[in-house]
Amino acid sequence: MVGTLLWRTRCLREGFEGETPKLKEEISSRKMAPGLLRLLCIHGYRQNETTFRERTGSLRKILKKHAELVYITAPLQVTPPPGALPGDTDPAGGAVHVGDPNGQMADPRGWWFSDPERESFNALEQTKSCKGLEESLETVAKALADQGPFNGILGFSQGSALVAIICALKQQGDLRFQFDFAILIAGFKSQSSSHESYYRDPITIPTLHIFGETDRVIPGEMSRDLTSCFTDPLVLTHQGGHFVPTSAPQKKVY
């Protein structure tokens, strides 16, 4: 699946409309991407680079011969919800992580707030404004510049929604964002009307969209709706919920 994303990237760069024999040979022999691919990983709401790294251990194991996963933390601090328990999942689109026996959160972070006054986020909340997006875009741009180059960006939940916005900005010519493809897991379109411009024009950047048909945090139809913003997206669904799937069927596809 990642090889297909690389092929589509190459086609866009060189103006090919189909899979030429030469490109097919290069993909099969892995000449297109010598060494490990580098993926910048963007966590979900109420997560951070440490918790997301822990929750993607199986994915890193699957991809260890093919890709290096680099993690960063969102700049916005999130106030833990009262009474949060270890492993709780909230309607904001992320997992709640408790860092000590006293119930304190392990530095929960977010990429933007749908409710600027309360500084909270809910993926289902329709709003006219938001807070923190520009700061988060600068955080990702700095990571790309300081730790790059990267072949692709991988996002989960709110992080996936952010990656979709970054893809739109790249399409619009924003030179801060240099990468070849994106992997969006449990993604969705921002419900803020101030973000509508990001979804008006088709995005040609090669993307892989992964989501669960029984996801109760980000319903599958929201993730499917996001795919409509991209040209020829690759789509991988699973029967599970709100997580990064790494069971045998998905492992074969990766």
Annotate 146-171 with DSSP letters as a single string.
HH---SEEEEETHHHHHHHHHHHHHH
- Neighbour-count burial for 77-104, b at 16+ CB within 10 Å, e otherwise: ebebeeebeeeebbebbbbbbbeeeeee
Q: How far apart are CA 229 and CA 227, in angstroms?
A: 5
Tokens linked to 62: 């699957």
Rounded Cα gap, residues 212 and 236, in angstroms = 9
CA end-to-end distance (rounded Å), the chain? 5
Other Cβ atoms within 10 Å of 118 Cβ, number = 10
Active-site hit among 180, 215, 223, 238 = 215
Question: Helix axis angle, 2-14 relative to 21-28, nearest 10°?
Answer: 140
Q: Is 215 a catalytic residue?
A: yes
Does 238 participate in catalysis according to the annotation?
A: no
Q: Which of 90, 114, 136, 157 is catalytic?
A: 157
Closest to 108 (Cα-Cα) out of 124, 96, 123: 96
Give dist(CA 24, CA 143) in Å, integer: 32
Specify whether 201 is catalytic. no
Residues acting as catalytic residues: 157, 215, 242
